[in-house]
Amino acid sequence: MTQPAAEIGDGEMTIDELARESGMTARNIRAHQSRGLLPAPVVRARTGYYGAEHLARIRLIQDMQAQGFNLKSIERLLEMGSASGSRGALEFQRALLEPFGSEQPEVIDGDGLSTVFGDAPDRKLVAKAEKIGLLRPIGEGTWEVPSPTLLRAGRDLIEMGIPLEHALAVADSINKHTTAIAKEFVRLFVKDVLQPMRDGDSLTERDLAAAGEAVERLRPLASQAVMASFGVVMTQAVERQLQKELR
């Protein structure tokens, strides 16, 4: 998504001044700009100047991040906000993209990366973490961590003496299985909620509102079902392994 350059007037700021005003680092501002989340600054004499529009957009992004939205979802929502002519459609899209957990993503730099991957990170292992979704590169030597809990779990496993490669293999397996579970819930929603609405003449604002409510109800049900099932099967797996060890 590419934003047009903003018209800067009174209250114009350099990137360092914008960083101080917003509480965000200049590096992250540049990363947001490279993703198209921020309009380009007005450039004069090789210096970029930012204005109130940029500060408002940064605060909107920060607010959405505080609600748990990752940068990819924020980018999509901002695109939808400019392209959608229907408030009902936008509200439904926002309900769909709202995170299914309460955890807030974090942004880390090279120092944060070294706490898990060591002082000289193996690029292949970092690429593996990016592939399975533990890290999302956002430019300027920074990464978004969608689930800080998962990253901390990996760090704790390493501190227990488990090799990083093995911890990432477990994370990859978790990702594959939870992806399959998520697809089943999405298929259920599309087949039994959305499709009956589509079979009508057209999707009305009321239909979209009902679909949004269904998403909100599905959100805790999906998480509760997965956690309950995992508790049962994990107990059974430990019991079976214990029996083997005792024999």
> Does residue 78 contact residue 48 with C-beta atoms inside 8 Å?
no
Residues 155 and 62 in one domain: no
With H, G, I as helix, E, B as strand and everything else as coil, classify residue 72: helix
Beta-sheet strands, E only, within the chain: 42-44, 47-49, 106-108, 136-139, 142-145
**Predicted pLDDT at 10:** 54
By the 8 A CB rule, do 64 and 77 touch?
A: yes
Q: Is residue 5 part of a domain?
A: no
- Which pLDDT tens digit goes with each residue over 138-185? 887 889 998 899 888 988 998 899 999 999 999 999 989 999 998 898
What are the residues facing 229 on neighbouring strands?
none
Element (DSSP H or E) covering residue 215:
helix 205-246
pLDDT at site 89:
61
pLDDT in tens, 92-126: 666 766 777 777 888 898 888 888 888 888 889 99
* Average pLDDT of span 204-223: 82
For 1-21, write each residue's pLDDT tens digit: 444 444 444 578 999 999 999
Q: Give me the percent of the chain exceeding a pLDDT of 70.
A: 84
Is the confidence at residue 135, as pLDDT, over 90? yes
Nearest CA to 146 out of 170, 121, 175 is that of 175
101 — phi, psi (to 5°)? -130, 170
Higher pLDDT, 174 or 210: 174
Q: What per-residue confidence (pLDDT) applies to 201?
A: 61
Same domain, 87 and 146: no
Does residue 85 share a domain with residue 42? yes
Q: Are residues 135 and 82 in the same domain?
A: no
230-245: average pLDDT: 92
The answer to whether residue 189 scores a pLDDT higher than 60 is: yes
Q: Identify whether residues 197 and 176 lie together within a single domain.
A: yes
In a domain, 132, yes or no: yes
Q: Is residue 6 part of a domain?
A: no
Q: Is the pLDDT of residue 80 over 70?
A: no
Q: Is residue 8 part of a domain?
A: no
More confidently predicted of 121 and 68: 121
Report if residue 151 sits inside a domain: yes
Separation CA 194–CA 188 (nearest Å): 9
Boundary of a domain, candidates 48, 74, 97: 97
Say how many domains are in the chain: 2
The answer to whether residues 68 and 128 belong to one domain is no
> Do 121 and 49 sit in the same domain of this protein?
no
The region of weakest confidence among 58-67, 74-83, 142-151, 218-227 is: 74-83
Mean pLDDT of the chain: 82
91 and 146 share one domain: no
The share of the chain scoring above pLDDT 90, in percent, equals 26
Residue 87 is predicted with a pLDDT of 58
Residues 115 and 69 in one domain: no
Tell me which of 97, 127, 148 is where a domain ends. Answer: 97
Helices within the chain (DSSP H only): 15-22, 26-35, 52-66, 71-83, 87-97, 110-117, 123-131, 148-159, 164-189, 195-198, 205-246
| Nearest-angstrom CA–CA distance, 37 and 61 | 8
Judge residue 202's burial from the number of C-beta atoms within 10 Å of its C-beta, 0-12 exposed, 13-18 middle, 19 or more buried.
exposed
Q: Which domain holds residue 19?
A: 15-97
141 and 232 co-located in one domain: yes
Number of neighbours of residue 158 by Cβ within 10 angstroms: 17
Which residue, among 14, 1, 2, 25, has the nearest Cα to 51 in the 3D structure?
14
Which residue, 212, 135, 5, 225, is CA-closest to 126? 135
What's the confidence (pLDDT) of residue 86? 53
Asked if residue 198 has pLDDT above 70, the reply is no
Assess whether 130 and 89 both reside in one domain: no
> Does 219 share its domain with 147?
yes
User: What is the per-residue pLDDT for 71?
Assistant: 82
| Tokens linked to 15 | 């990137």
- What the block records as the tokens of 216 is 């909100």
Residue 33: CATH number of its domain: 1.10.1660.10
Q: Is residue 33 domain-resident?
A: yes
